[in-house]
Amino acid sequence: MLNKKASRQRRARKTRARIAEQRIVRLAIHRTNLHIYAQVISACGGKVLASASSAEVEVRKELANGGNIAAAVVVGQRIADKAKSAGVTQVAFDRSGNRYHGRVKALAEAAREHGLQF
């Protein structure tokens, strides 16, 4: 029987395998209780093209709490802007095995609204 963490890791592995087959740039997220992180990773070589998180100094100045939906929206906007400046508009969303609701959904929708397509 799998525990909660092992189940999430299994889902993440399956998703990453599908994205690797497509050979497309991916938007990977990492979620902790205190912060949310996002990275745009190249299809070949796994190089990080852009990154944003609620732990960044600029974000922490405007937000009191980095582990809520408001922080996820800000990170989604920042990652979309940084990705566009790096020349990336089309990505595959890698939610790292997390369910698509709450902070994960807020980050994805904010990134879509600011020009990322996935």
Cα atoms in the 13 Å half-sphere on the side-chain side of 103: 24
Residue 69 maps to a domain:
yes
Residue 97 maps to a domain:
yes
pLDDT at 14: 95
Nearest CA to 18 out of 90, 93, 89 is that of 93
Whole-prediction pTM: 0.92
Residue 118 maps to a domain:
no
Range of the domain at 77: 4-113
CATH code: domain of residue 28:
3.30.420.100
Do residues 14 and 96 lie in contact, with contact meaning Cβ atoms separated by under 8 Å?
no
In the chain, how many domains are there?
A: 1
**Cα 110–chain centre separation:** 11
Residue 89 maps to a domain:
yes
Residue 49 maps to a domain:
yes
pLDDT per position as a tens digit, 36-77:
999 999 998 889 999 999 999 999 999 989 899 999 999 999
